[in-house]
């Protein structure tokens, strides 16, 4: 389904988060708030949070942690006054590792004392850098959700969390793919460089027109699929860990932070050293 992000490209993140909270925006956020980092989300009960934090530490490219949210669902580092239960256009609830099939626009009623939220870096953050260099990002150009695939690249397990790396895919010419590699390798906190360029079968993807999450996009002559680690990987890990409940963003529907992409790396490094 096509949607129009044009009115939101140059809005401030706080303004877009307010529109999301009010239910005006309920579609994917790729391309919104040009220049600002976006984040994936997973919320877990306290008895699973420690293992997930270790899982993210062991798998820093698909799961780069931007902020851990404890006590209340309000964010601080990634956006003062933001709320991880209301400020994402669509959420999913997993029970015992299975998504219940519904998408919600507000999960405030599910937050309980002790729950822990993890905001995880998102590849939407590097797309702006690609477009600035003249590389078309197909799902933005076509007004679709980015295609994402479960691959045969396995994550390193921690506690009950394990499973395949989910990758987002963008079609590009080989020349643009090389340029994209050079750009994104410098952005480790939003998934870094592609893990694979070329034959999709090599990473276990049988058909690039049938994504596991998101929507298919068109390929043009001479293009190859380029796969990046993706922050939907925790949702695949939740299917194996089977916590009684897990709350996640719906794929493609992100939390938009107040941190601009060029400053994200330095911000997180400074935070580690505090």
Strand, helix or coil for residue 127: helix
Q: Assign 1 a pLDDT band (cuts: 50, 70, 90).
A: low
Residue of 191, 192, 172 whose CA lies nearest to 182:
192
* Comma-separated ranges of CATH 3.30.2040.10 domains in the chain: 127-229
pLDDT tens-digit readout, 2-47: 678 899 999 999 999 999 999 999 999 988 999 999 999 999 999 9
Q: What pLDDT does 189 receive?
A: 84
Strand, helix or coil for residue 100: strand
What CA–CA distance (Å, rounded) separates 146 from 140?
8
Q: CATH number of the domain at 127-229, please?
A: 3.30.2040.10
Q: What pLDDT does 238 receive?
A: 96
What CA–CA distance (Å, rounded) separates 273 from 168?
31
| Mean predicted confidence (pLDDT) in 224-240 | 95
pLDDT tens-digit readout, 168-181: 999 999 999 999 99
pLDDT tens-digit readout, 131-165: 999 999 999 999 898 999 999 999 999 999 999 99
Strand, helix or coil for residue 213: strand
Token pair 């043009």: residue: 220
What CA–CA distance (Å, rounded) separates 254 from 250?
8
Q: What pLDDT does 2 receive?
A: 64
What CA–CA distance (Å, rounded) separates 96 from 104?
18
pLDDT tens-digit readout, 39-53: 999 999 999 999 999
Q: Assign 222 a pLDDT band (cuts: 50, 70, 90).
A: very high
Question: In this structure, what token pair is assigned to residue 214?
Answer: 């998101």
State the pTM of this model.
0.92
Architecture of domain 6-123+234-273: 3-Layer(aba) Sandwich (3.40)
What CA–CA distance (Å, rounded) separates 265 from 187?
7
Q: What pLDDT does 44 receive?
A: 98
Cβ neighbors of 239 (< 8 A, separation 6 or more) are 94, 97, 98, 163
């Amino acid at each position: 389904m096509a949607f129009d992000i044009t009115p939101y490209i140059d809005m401030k993140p706080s303004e877009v988060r307010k529109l999301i909270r009010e239910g005006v925006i309920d579609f994917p956020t790729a391309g919104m708030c040009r220049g600002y980092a976006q984040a994936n989300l997973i919320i877990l009960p306290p008895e699973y949070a420690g293992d997930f934090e270790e899982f993210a530490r062991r798998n820093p490219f698909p799961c780069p942690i931007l902020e851990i949210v404890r006590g209340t669902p309000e964010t601080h580092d990634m956006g003062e006054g933001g709320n991880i239960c209301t400020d994402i256009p669509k959420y999913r609830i997993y029970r015992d590792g299975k998504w219940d099939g519904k998408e919600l626009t507000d999960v405030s009623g599910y937050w309980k004392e002790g729950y822990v939220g993890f905001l995880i870096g998102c590849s939407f953050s590097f797309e702006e850098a690609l477009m600035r260099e003249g590389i078309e990002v197909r799902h933005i150009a076509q007004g679709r959700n980015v295609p994402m695939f479960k691959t045969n690249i396995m994550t390193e397990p921690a506690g009950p969390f394990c499973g395949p790396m989910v990758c987002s895919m963008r079609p590009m010419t080989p020349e643009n793919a090389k340029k994209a590699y050079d750009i994104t390798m410098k952005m480790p906190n939003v998934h870094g460089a592609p893990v694979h360029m070329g034959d999709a079968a090599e990473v276990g993807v049988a058909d690039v027109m049938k994504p596991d999450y998101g929507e298919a996009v068109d390929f043009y002559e001479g293009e190859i699929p380029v796969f990046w680690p993706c922050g939907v990987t925790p949702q695949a890990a939740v299917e194996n860990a089977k916590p009684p409940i897990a709350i996640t963003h719906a794929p493609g529907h992100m939390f938009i932070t107040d941190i601009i992409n060029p400053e994200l790396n330095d911000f997180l490094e400074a935070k580690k050293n505090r």
